[in-house]
Amino acid sequence: MKIKCLLLILLPGFTAVSQRSFCQPVSYLKTQPQLLSTIRQNLADADKQYSLMAGKVAPGQFPRNYDPAKNKFETSNSGWWCSGFYPGTLLEIYEQNRDKALLKDANLSLDSLAKEQYNTHTHDLGFMMYNSFGNANRLHPTETYKKILLNSAKSLSTRFNPKVGCIKSWESKPSDFLVIIDNMMNLELLFWATRETGDSSFYKIAVTHANSTMKNHYRPDYSSYHVINYNPETGGVQQKKTAQGFSNESAWARGQVWGLYGFTVMYRETHDKKYLEQAIHITNFILNNPNLPADKIPYWDFNAPNIPNALRDASAGSIMASALLELCRYADKKDGIVYFNAAQSIIKTLSTPEYKAAQGTNGGFILKHSVGHLPGKSEVDVALTYADYYFVEAMKRYTQFAK
């Protein structure tokens, strides 16, 4: 019987659970030998792709996307919200393949990213710093990495407004306080900081933010708005909208899976069943949605008007697969098998030539066909750095069930 066992960390008034805490038998979740073989090949191919990509990246720059229609490889500086995914993906591939050249590339990238630990103008320090330095510290713990992560958690905490009960997302006029569902993904950094320091203030911010999000972002069917605009003085909700989706009342696909992943992490870290129930409700909305394709790769918006001809979003698929491969450990057996099988289906589909790029193509990215911001006509049907990150993470999580 396979068991995932972790230690509880007790804080005044709270029970936090580290990433190695919660015991759940998973002997009934059976991996498929053929898919494990496919994953091994995918990771070998990913090594070659990211070696190719490294040659395209100038010092201080970070891969952002590749547009096949324009044959354009786009990078960003370290302040872009996606900057942590490139070193994070390099480290995840290195962990599987032990290619020291990738580790060297990751370390060069980390050197350029380190200054963002003091960036108080973004809510995305979890994406930027935990997915990069968090992986680096997990693989090779150092005091330098820990200091960078702790400073990042402190910087993120400065954006918390206790009246609103949330961490501020986008900058806006003083009378607005914008919070996006994506922000659920940045809370894991705060839990790490509590475990590392014993300071429960980080934990309290994460829990308060999650509770406010659960209360205000979700509709009765457990689909999520993208953006909630709060009054910063009273904490009241002023507006609910969906900026990157089809319409304010539509279910933007990546927003749904950000929430799924985020509330799964909340359950792991707190062991509070309301977060598990929330994650399961979100999963049921997604998996039972009549507009979810049979192969489980979502359309960019569940309410896109031109389904079945709407664009698919591989990034939403990869995030969902990774989240489900954690959630299936916490759900009961019946649901766990459903979630595991859905993740399996996603990985299989993303491993086909339809989504997985041929060697030497796609700017070095692994996956094709992701959608960034279709209404804004930005990053539409391109390769995206976070699609690769969560695909590699999902594949790693799947292989852990075979151990």
Active-site positions? 124, 182
**Alpha-carbon torsion (275, 278, 282, 284), positive or negative:** positive
13: left (phi over 0), alpha (psi -120 to 50) or beta: left
Q: How far apart are CA 149 and CA 287, in angstroms?
A: 35
Q: How far apart are CA 188 and CA 267, in angstroms?
A: 11
Strand partners, 25: 3
Distances (CA, A) of 391 to 83, 123, 386: 17, 23, 8
Residue 92: closest CA among 278, 281, 322, 248: 322
Phi/psi for 66 (5° steps) reads: -135, 125
Q: Where are the alpha helices (DSSP H) in 140-233?
A: 143-157, 188-197, 200-216
Give me 48's structure tokens: 């070659």
Q: Which amino acid is present at 201?
A: S
Q: How far apart are CA 89 and CA 318, in angstroms?
A: 13
Distances (CA, A) of 263 to 81, 113, 140, 267, 280: 21, 27, 28, 6, 9
Phi/psi for 208 (5° steps) reads: -65, -40
Q: How far apart are CA 205 and CA 155, in angstroms?
A: 13
Q: How far apart are CA 16 and CA 298, in angstroms?
A: 33
Q: How far apart are CA 88 and CA 74, in angstroms?
A: 18
Residues 6+ apart with CB under 8 A from 306: none
Gyration radius (Cα) of the chain, Å: 20
Token look-up 């927003």 returns 255
Collapsing DSSP states into helix, strand and coil, what is residue 23? Answer: strand
Q: How far apart are CA 223 and CA 169, in angstroms?
A: 20
